[in-house]
Amino acid sequence: MDIAVETVTEIVLRLRAIEVKEGNTDPDSGSNPIDDGATDVLISGTDDATESEVRSMIAGLDDDSRAELLALFYVGRGDMEPEEWSEAVRFAREREGVGEGAVPTLLGSPIAGDLLEEGLDALGLTPELPPA
């Protein structure tokens, strides 16, 4: 695998930051972060850079690394076995070619971070991640 485990780990952490967010349940709170216990950080908003950061990180990967990231997702999800790594990477390249690559797939899954971590684990690679 050519993509660095540290790179995958950083993407997992950012995906988890997105996964814990929810829609705005109190749009007119008017309070400041100290008064509301800083809970607004868990609300998605127009000024939230986390998703754009993930998009930029993935887009900044070379084609091989993007394909391997998506292949890790497939292995973690159970679509492919670790022994089918080459096939998973080939399939991921095909998905990228038709516009269904890493960015839409990972951002479209509510548990993408966990699945990437499971993919790494299935390949015998253990990232240093805080508990989910």
Average pLDDT over residues 100-129: 91
pLDDT category at 90 given cuts 50, 70, 90 is very high
Using alpha carbons only, how large is the chain's radius of gyration in Å? 16
Average pLDDT over residues 76-82: 97
Q: Percent of the chain having pLDDT more than 70?
A: 74
pLDDT score at 44: 45
**Cβ distance 107 to 51 under 8 Å?**
yes
Residue whose C-alpha is closest to residue 95's, from 86, 105, 85: 105
Residues 16-75 pLDDT 10s: 988 765 555 555 555 555 555 555 544 444 445 678 889 999 999 999 999 999 999 999
pLDDT score at 99: 84
pLDDT score at 22: 55
